[in-house]
Amino acid sequence: MFLKRMEMKGFKSFADPLHIEIEPGITVVVGPNGSGKSNIADGIRWVLGEQSAKSLRGSKMADVIFAGSDERRRVNMAEVTLVLDNESGFLPLSYTEISLTRRLYRSGESEYLLNRQPCRRKDIIDVMMDSGLGREAYSIIGQGQVEQVLSSKPEDRRVIFEEAAGVVKYQSRKRESERK
């Protein structure tokens, strides 16, 4: 499984539709300060269900919507899509290509889509859980986060290993059934 395409529209600094094609292997994004490199990583986190505006470096969720610039008016919707290659069947869905989309309107309305069909946030989280790309996974290490991992409490650090070992899914299902 690998991320083969990313599409963004109206997300943070990306006002115009942007398609990024990604080959298997290592991809490096380079550019001057403030050019939007971290915004790409924020876009990935966001589609995977991030609910903390602060983690996305904003103060409220609407801060992910393009706010306008000297040359361009602000827009009313942010949309990000990740297209994953699932030829290997790694993700638990019988599709060889899986697309995940999240949209947010200024009105506050939000949408998630799985293969272009409306779904719940939970459906996206379930698909990605234990894939190593989950929202809580340390597959996305933000600027300054390395230090945080090194200084965290042993209990907090254990979560990283549990996610890597693929047991988080079972813990979360156990918690869910205990609540019922």
Check the annotation: does 86 bind a ligand: no
Select 24 or 31, whichever has its Cβ closest to ligand ATP: 31
**Interface with ligand ATP includes 142 (CB under 6 A)?**
no
Site for ligand ATP in 31-50 (CB under 6 A): 31, 33-39
- CA 40 vs CA 5, 36, 56, 163, 164: distances in Å: 12, 7, 11, 23, 23
- Which listed residue (13, 38, 55, 139) binds Mg ion by CB under 5 A? 38
Check the annotation: does 115 bind a ligand: no
Q: Find, among 33, 31, 40, 32, the residue nearest to 12 by Cα.
A: 40
Select 46 or 112, whichever has its Cβ closest to ligand ATP: 46
Residue 29, number of CB atoms within 10 A of its CB: 11
Question: What span, in angstroms and rounded, lies between the C-alpha atoms of 151 and 145?
Answer: 10
Check the annotation: does 154 bind a ligand: no
* Tokens of residue 107, six digits: 């009105």
Between 56 and 75, how does the x/- string for binding to ligand ATP read (CB under 6 A)? Answer: -------x-xxx--------
Question: What span, in angstroms and rounded, lies between the C-alpha atoms of 47 and 124?
Answer: 8
Catalog residues that contact ligand ATP under the rule CB under 6 A: 12-13, 31, 33-39, 63, 65-67
Catalog residues that contact Mg ion under the rule CB under 5 A: 37-38
- Known binding-site residues for ATP equal 32-39
